[in-house]
Structure 1
Amino acid sequence: MRITIYINIIGIFVLASLSSCNQQFSMQDDQDLSANQVPISRSFELTTPQTIEWEMVNPDSIPAPKTYPLDIDQLPARPFSINEFKALKSPIEESPLDYDPQKKIPLEFDTVAVEKKTSILPTPLVTRMNKPRILNGTSSGMLQLSSSEGLPSNEIRKVLQNEDGSYWIATFEGGLCLYDGKDSYIYDYRNIWDIALDQDGKLWVATGNNGVYVLDFKKRTETHFLAKKTILTLLCDSQDKMWMIEWREATWVMDSEMKHLRRIANPGFERGFRLIEDHNHNIWLGHLSSGQNVLSVMGKNRENYTDILNLGPGHFFQDSDHRMWLSNRNGAMAISLEKQTATNIDERNGFYGNARLYEEDNQGRLWMIKNDTITVLSKDRTQMKTMVTNSPVSLPQKIGCVMKNAKGVIWIGTLTKGILLIDPDGPLPEHLDVLNGLTSSEIWSFEQDHRGNIWMGSRNNIDIYNPSTGTIKTIGQSIVYNNSANNRISFIKEIEDDKIFVDGVHGFYLIDRTENVITRYLDDVNLANRVFGALKDETGAYWLSSSNGLAIYNPETNSLKMLPGLSPHLDSRRVICIEVDGSGRYWVATDNGLAIIDT
């Protein structure tokens, strides 16, 4: 056979364009603002074509194939569960909301003189941050940004994103941190309970026992008022008024220019918990009135309010359907004022515990965060998936936070582990190991066959997961064993329906599920040691990339021809992978460049 070969002078960098060769990748930190750059086009030049001749292997040195019975259907199965989205135990139901929207109570305010002090904005301490790392102690794929990466504290109270992509991170005792993806700028404000930005870009900082600080970065000033008071919650509404809840004392409202300070005079608003403004500019407020927790809604004109129900939520969130989700002591709860309905999710639906925080991702899924667990509810609200974080967001008298950044990444502020970062547009991964039922935690290869089964190659074993039955079977080392200290299954591929190609360390296996047999080929370390990839051509021959170079094996004649790795055409001992393009050319990747073979 006469074959033309081209050598790519650019080398191994082109391997990224081959999906089958993409066995290693790097994950850029979402917060590395310089990581994503516009792709640059470069010239792609090939050397002058060369004619090559294959080296024929002596037929007497090629071991005869050996075939053994193997009926995978008869292998014992064991339960194997992957944490995927599962149907709710019962559908979510809505019930009528028993309240009278016409029963409005006039709001009364007292005006209070503003005692404030303005000074020069303090200078922050600048610290170089490390990139987020993988969160330990959980099976879910999450990143963690904590004191180990440079945050001043792991107790997070609030995270806000600025228009330039930077973040304000409020810690309780470690200070106020401005994080730009590389450095943190730490301002020495302690006991922070909440932060909020007004419409002019000033940052309001609510503290315990030290009132409110307003940081004006345009004027480089700090304004301090309500000194010695504990302010729990801040809300800048659509009218550019800042609402403030003082611990067990008052609910305050102030204009952004800090000229007028008022307090709600109605009984029962002395002990507020949390507030939020909805899409109609109503303000929802949880507070304690006459010894009972009450949820009230102030109208957009701020002239009256309506009591909705006896509940004092510590967190509010409005989803894209305008339902207001409330933290609840029993499950999760949502209210729709337009429909005048209440929705409850609890153990009847398969949701256990109480939701403390909420967020909605860009796919419309609702994230319900319990103390150290996340439950994600599907967009149609019929399925859910649970992920354990082992990172509490709720402790007595304390609660963390959650926000979605401009890229859609979920930031969860915990009380002991810093910030958790999760990309909802990714696969929401789970880490599986022997504790979940795998025969080994060291997985070297994957393949999904046309039946939907997942094949996983490890050392001496192949696990086969059947998602439809929730079971796993194992082809053990008694079948795919090789007397080698490096007996890992590095490559699995369904060459054609029910024909599974498996790396055999020395040579390879073919599993035929139709005939219920397994056949071993080329069981010799000098012929095809460590097969990294394989293709079947139109003649029925197998192209093999291996540690010995490139080989073509014909199972009908048990013949083998090779292009050794140290030949001038490959200039490398190892052929990493092989793919064929739409023109019938074979792309051969080595650890020293790339060759293109035109047959």
Structure 2
Amino acid sequence: MLSYKQLVIPLLFFFFCGILSSQTNTWIHFDSSNSGLPSNTIRLVSQDPDGVYWIGTWDSGLVKFDGKNWTVYNKENSPLPHNCVYSIAFNNGNILIGTMGGGLAIFDGNSSWKIYNEKNSNIPQDWIYSVAVDKKQRIWIGTFSDGIGILENDQWINYNKTNSILTDNKVTYILIDKYDNKILATQGELAFIIDDVWKSEKDFNIDSLDYVAYWISEMHDGKKIISYKYKGIVLFDGKNFTVLKGPNSNDGIEGFYSAVEDYKKKIWAGSFGQGIVVYENEKSEIWNKSNSPVKDDFIFNIFVDSRNNKWISTYFGGISIYNEDGVDIK
């Protein structure tokens, strides 16, 4: 008969090995072969205030993931107006879904849907790049070629080159910061709305970069990270632009679709074709298919969730999730 020590020691060994294994599980990968994802082309991931993940796909609709269960909403099984989900935001328990071709959908997460499109409302356009919500509960959208729209009390107020200081009608991103200031990314200059007053870069004596900006995010210290098509990743403190240099001056990397700061003050920037650039203090490094577990070098979006997991949305390879302290999504 085995002694008490003979039984306990092996059990303790396997127990601690299990803990070590969970602590070192720094990467998780989801695609259509091992999860409820209906597609491997993922536009973005976002997390609602309840901790639920909402995933926008390029061609297969919206996906809800609670850490265990997957639910797919598409044109065939729901009122979702288009299967290309380009942007997601949250407001008063609702999911705001900007689509490329179907307008704006507002979904309560259960069974209630409201759709705004060019046929049933004064929305400026059905092709929506960006959705955001301000502190007055107004919904802001940036469109593919017709400026911005603001939804308030079920009415749209629209702005474009003809009635505002916008220099271009393609508004690729709208950031609303912690002070409720709005920064609009366009094909050229940035535009600002401060206390409902429009301001241009010239109003702030900003030396414009005059490049296409795809994404804007806010750092913990209030600075903005701007992802440019040609200029790379740029920090903006309200007056000055600082271009972040990657390895070998970014190695010619262009086409940054998104960049975000994590809880350890690292900046994660996704390029469309050459992987990820990670910036930390004065150093930077490139992560791609050849030197990391990331499944694709075409990065649509990087999202940092409430547990510092980095959700990497790719064009061909589904979602890769990284956390240096161990991925935890439950």
Sort the TM-score into its range (normalised by shorter chain): 0.7 to 0.9
221 and 347 in structure 1: CA distance in 2 versus 1, 3 angstrom threshold: closer
Q: 1:332 to 1:349 in 2, by over 3 A?
A: farther
3-state DSSP class of the match of 1:407? coil
Aligned to 1:222: 113
Question: Equivalent residues in 2 for 1:72-471 (5 A)?
Answer: 142-149=27-34, 150-188=36-74, 189=80, 190-198=83-91, 200-217=92-109, 220-227=111-118, 229-255=126-152, 258-264=153-159, 265-266=163-164, 268=167, 270-288=169-187, 293-299=188-194, 301-307=195-201, 308=206, 309=208, 310-328=210-228, 329-337=230-238, 340-346=239-245, 350-352=249-251, 353-354=253-254, 355-371=256-272, 372-378=274-280, 381-388=281-288, 389=294, 391-393=296-298, 400-425=300-325
TM-score scaled by length of structure 2: 0.79
Residue 246 (structure 1) shift? 2.2
| Distance in 2 (alpha carbons) for counterparts of 1:29 and 1:182 | 20
Closer/same/farther in 2, CA of residues 368 and 10 from structure 1, 3 Å limit: same
Does structure 2 retain, via aligned residues, the 8 Å contact 1:295–1:311?
no
d(CA) in 1 for partners of 2:179, 2:248: 30
Q: CA deviation at 1:364?
A: 1.3
Indicate the structure (1 or 2) with the bigger Cα radius of gyration.
Answer: 1
Q: Quick check: 1:13 aligned with 2:11?
A: yes
Show CA shifts across 1:140-165 (max 9, x none).
Answer: x6321111122011111221112333
1:8 shift after superposition: 4.5
- Residue 233 of structure 1: CA displacement? 1.2
Higher relative contact order (CA 8 A, sep 6+): 1
Q: CA separation of 1:152/1:23 partners in 2, compared to 1, >3 Å: closer, same or farther?
A: closer
Where structure 1 has 5 or more consecutive residues not aligned to the other structure, the ranges are: 31-140, 395-399, 428-599
Residue identity opposite 2:267 in structure 1: L
Conserved? CA contact 1:204–1:215, under 8 Å? yes
CA distance in 2: counterparts of 1:346 and 1:259, whole angstroms: 45
**SS state at 1:164 partner:** coil
Assess, with a 3 A threshold, how the Cα gap between structure 1 residues 294 and 161 changes in structure 2: closer, same or farther. same
Measure, in 2, the Cα distance between the counterparts of 1:187 and 1:393: 25
Alpha-carbon RMSD:
2.8
Counterpart residue identity of residue 5, structure 2: I
Q: Is residue 252–residue 261 contact of structure 1 (8 Å, CA) maintained in 2? A: yes
3-state SS in 2 of match to 1:351: helix
Taking a change above 3 Å as real, the CA distance of residues 349 and 335 of structure 1, as seen in their structure-2 partners, is: farther
Gaps in structure 2 of 5+ consecutive residues: 75-79, 120-125, 289-293
Fraction of identical pairs, as percent: 20
**One-letter code aligned to 1:204:** L
CA distance in 1, matches of 2:7, 2:247: 64
TM-score (norm 1): 0.45
* Displacement of 1:409: 0.6
Structure 1 residues 393 and 319, CA gap change in structure 2 (3 angstroms):
farther
Whole-angstrom CA distance in 2 between matches of 1:287 and 1:29: 41
CA gap of 1:212–1:356, structure 2 versus 1, over 3 A, is: closer
* Aligned 8 A contact 1:286 1:311 in 2: no
Q: Say if 2:147 and 2:168, in contact at 8 Å, map to a contact too.
A: yes
Q: Given the superposition, is the C-alpha separation of residues 186 and 167 from structure 1 closer, same or farther in structure 2, using an over 3 Å criterion?
A: same
Aligned residues: 292
TM-aligned CA deviation for residue 270 of structure 1 = 2.8
**CA shift in 2, pair 1:170/1:24, >3 Å:** closer
